[in-house]
Amino acid sequence: MTLYELLASEQAGPIFRPLFKAQNGRLTAIRLRAGEAIKEHKSPVPAMLLVLEGAVRYEQPGDGIIRPLGALAFTDIPPDTAHQVVAETDAFCLLVQ
């Protein structure tokens, strides 16, 4: 199975699909269509967002941080930090926690 097949859906809004889960971490595939967003939230653990295809904007509103991320770019996400992700184009991402 490919990520395209896994994330292919007519469903509106971000799509999250768990790919791997271990005792101390997990890997999640994310599909965002242009203009969709993962609304502001916090994670209790450190994470990394890797863009496989497309372009997103990672934001930490409280810190004034805005990071445009294209294909194969990544950013670390500190624990307990409010952040959001906005799709500039259709995008496929991986979230490592």
d(CA 86, CA 67): 10
Indicate the pTM of the whole model.
0.91
What is the domain-level CATH number for residue 65?
2.60.120.10
Q: Which two tokens stand for residue 34?
A: 């242009």
**For residues 86 and 37, is the Cβ–Cβ distance under 8 A?**
yes
Q: Which residues face 80 on adjacent strands?
A: none
Enter the DSSP assignment of 79. Answer: T
d(CA 30, CA 94): 6
| Structural domains of the chain, count | 1
Share of the chain above pLDDT 90, in %: 87
End-to-end CA distance of the chain: 22
Q: What's the mean per-residue pLDDT of the chain?
A: 93
CA proximity to 36, closest of 87, 85, 71: 87
Query: Is residue 6 pLDDT above 80, yes or no?
Result: no
Which structural domain range is residue 7 located in? Answer: 3-96
Q: What is the predicted pLDDT for the residue at 3?
A: 74
Q: What is the predicted pLDDT for the residue at 61?
A: 93
Place of tokens 């991986």: 94
Query: Is residue 10 pLDDT above 80, yes or no?
Result: no
